[in-house]
Chain A
Amino acid sequence: MPIIATQGLTMRFPRVTALDDLSVAVEPGVVGLVGANGAGKSTLIKILLGLMPPTSGTATVLGLDIARDGLRIRESVGFMPEYECLPPDVSATEFVVHMARMCGLPPSAARERAADTLRHVGLYEERYRPIGGYSTGMRQRVKLAQALVHDPKLVFLDEPTNGLDPAGRDEMLDLIRRIGAEFGISVLVTSHLLGELERVCDHVVIIDGGKLLRSQAVEAYTAASGVLTVEVEEGRDDLGRRLHEQGVSVHPEGRFLVVDIAGETTYDLIRDGVADLGLRLIRMEQRRHHIEEVFQTAPQAPSGPHAAGTVPQGVSR
């Protein structure tokens, strides 16, 4: 059963169409929702929480209809908003306990779950201090904790890495992966940074201007692109020439050779070439497509070489 399914979901505001006939279904797991700012991600979450009725179309969350079972949906999901949503004058413990009680957890269970959840997101002694003095990273953790404290079946995380430094970003992504894998809670995580999501998601949905651009398992985006990066200590050109003579498509790139994989034999040819020429092989690495390329709509967009990690993360259009 899909955790989220929408059929022809449309949301029109007086001036903009936030969602335009969106039909998508996703299975349990960590699901990424990608789109530029204003693509309709937050609107979709609000509709799925049953906070806003859509202009037209229907949707189910955890098999429950958003129009009829809003309350039951909200009992079994958690929501971490994109914006600041924490009162500065209470401690994280006090706040998370209160939010647990708002989900119906009895007082002792609320306290216990709040302590557990704050520990899981990585807040320790500082949880007794007022939130006003927290860093952005700590605030994001409190926001995450309040979304998880009632042990939901599904959490909506809206831009959880917003405003975090690279280290904080990595920690947050790691947490999200753990929520899916260890905690067994399905996640719908939004981001406008595509590269982030391929690291943690099982499935990625891309929307643009409220329309569905693509929805598929993350492996499909990042399937082996058929490119190998080969680095040898010296004699790069010798190896390149030899491989070229053997009919392998190869070209130099910086200190590396980039080799198109034609099949299993390509690996053998490289191995033999390195051995026969007596070169020292430093590395041989398979390069993957990055999800960024989805947005590189130009048909001649080459599939590989320059799409490596140096491409700036984000939507470049």
Chain B
Amino acid sequence: MSTSTIHDIGYRHYDGRRNGRAYVIRSLYVHNLRAAFGLGRPVRAKIMPFVLAALMLLPAAGSVAAFAFTKQEDALIPYAAYANLMQVIVAIFLATQAPVLASREVRFHVVPLYFSRPVGHLDFVLAKGAAMATALLALLAVPVTVLYVGGLVAKAPDSSQQLLDYLGGLVGCVLYALVLAAIGMVVAAFTPRRGFGVAAVIAAYMVPTAVATAVQGIAEAQTNFTLQGWMGLLAPFNLVDIVQVRLLGAETSSPGIAPGVTGGLVALALCAVIVLGSIAVLYRRFRKAGLS
């Protein structure tokens, strides 16, 4: 005869392994990366990121299809131009998802729970920033990879040059991801309410871009191409494109490109300042939030 009983085994102490700092950072990174795509959240948190990711893929798929049929090389979108071409979608993704990572835990006062555990302030910021950048990289690099693989399958000519361009494009994607994540996270971290956060990130993308474009237009009309090029530093996408064109040998896809290798180096330095500056700002922001 078999009888089953439920035993209340009472409280059990945990004397198993406790992993160190690397594990905590990795867990935090994975948690935030999942959050960026709404994984582990209700369905409505997944809609936006996945719809945007799908939209990002459409032109790449269409471009490959067009090339396969027409065999015309200019049907393939250049790898380095893809982010610039799709910048509105990328900006919307950043605006909707950066608040999820940067301000959600501030708004709901979850941050002190991390810092009352063995989680360092800098580790916390780096894990969050890296997660946002990775999410953006996935958003950008997947369609670029689709373009490359599609081109290979459809037998685009000059495969070694294609590979070089593709790798250069990927480096560009990494740079886009880092710069955009830095800007989006900082703006979102200071606008705790989600709706405002979305609007603020969009504004942080659109206002400088609009200003830069306007000035570039005027400069172009006055044939001041140098000014037109340097103004490109103001707009986030144009800024990274300057690095791509001047240092990675890509074709331009922006209204203005700062001249020479100097222009590229200045743009790269500016990217570094944005990324490092955002880490410093976020560090202070979360440190303060950890005490509230």
Partner of A102, one of B11, B16, B24, B40: B24
In chain A, what residue has the closest Cβ to B27?
A101
Q: Contacts A75-B118, A87-B108 given: A109-B17 contact, CB under 8 Å?
A: yes
Partner of B114, one of A90, A102, A150: A102
B113 at the interface (CB under 8 A from A): yes
- For B291, list chain A residues within 8 Å (CB): 46, 51-52
Question: Do residues B290 and A106 form an inter-chain contact, with CB atoms below 8 A?
Answer: no
Question: Do residues A88 and B116 form an inter-chain contact, with CB atoms below 8 A?
Answer: no
Q: Contacts A98-B31, A116-B12, A183-B11 given: A85-B113 contact, CB under 8 Å?
A: yes
- For A105, list chain B residues within 8 Å (CB): 14, 16, 18-19
A102-138 interface (Cβ within 8 A of B): 102-106, 109, 113, 116, 120, 130
Q: Counting chain B CB atoms within 10 Å of each CB, which of A49, A103, A120, A130 scores highest?
A: A103
A251 at the interface (CB under 8 A from B): no
Q: Mark A229-255, 1 if CB is under 8 A from B, else 0.
A: 000000000000000000000000000
A147-170 interface (Cβ within 8 A of B): 150-151
Among the 9-residue stretches A76-84, A187-195, A288-296, the one with 4 or more Cβ atoms under 8 Å from chain B is A76-84
- For B140, list chain A residues within 8 Å (CB): none
In chain B, what residue has the closest Cβ to A150?
B14
Question: Do residues A74 and B13 form an inter-chain contact, with CB atoms below 8 A?
Answer: no
In the bound assembly, the distance between CA atoms of A183 and B13 in angstroms comes to 8
- Number of A residues whose C-beta is below 8 Å from B? 39
Q: Contacts A71-B118, A106-B17 given: A90-B41 contact, CB under 8 Å?
A: yes
Question: Do residues B109 and A81 form an inter-chain contact, with CB atoms below 8 A?
Answer: yes
In the bound assembly, the distance between CA atoms of A203 and B31 in angstroms comes to 40
Question: Do residues A74 and B109 form an inter-chain contact, with CB atoms below 8 A?
Answer: no
Q: Mark B92-133, 1 if CB is under 8 A from A, else 0.
A: 000000000000110011101111111110000000000000
Q: Mark A52-92, 1 if CB is under 8 A from B, else 0.
A: 10000000000000000001001101010101111111100
- Give the shortest distance, in Å, between B105 (CB) and chain A (any CB): 7
In chain B, what residue has the closest Cβ to A143?
B113
- For B290, list chain A residues within 8 Å (CB): 51
A273 at the interface (CB under 8 A from B): no
In the bound assembly, the distance between CA atoms of A101 and B34 in angstroms comes to 15
In chain B, what residue has the closest Cβ to A87?
B108
A314 at the interface (CB under 8 A from B): no
Question: Do residues A104 and B31 form an inter-chain contact, with CB atoms below 8 A?
Answer: no
B28 at the interface (CB under 8 A from A): yes
- Give the shortest distance, in Å, between A159 (CB) and chain B (any CB): 14
- Give the shortest distance, in Å, between A3 (CB) and chain B (any CB): 16
Q: Known contacts A51-B112, A81-B112, A85-B108; can you find 11 more A-B pairs with CB under 8 A?
A: A51-B291, A71-B120, A75-B117, A89-B41, A90-B40, A101-B27, A102-B117, A104-B118, A106-B19, A116-B12, A151-B13
Closest A-B pairs by Cβ, 8 of them? A151-B14, A79-B116, A104-B18, A101-B27, A104-B19, A183-B11, A85-B109, A75-B118
Please report A residues at the B interface, Cβ cutoff 8 Å.
46, 49, 51-52, 71, 74-75, 77, 79, 81, 83-90, 94, 98-99, 101-106, 109, 113, 116, 120, 130, 146, 150-151, 178, 182-184
- 7 A–B pairs (Cβ distance < 8 Å), ordered by A: A46-B291, A75-B18, A75-B117, A85-B108, A87-B108, A120-B11, A178-B11
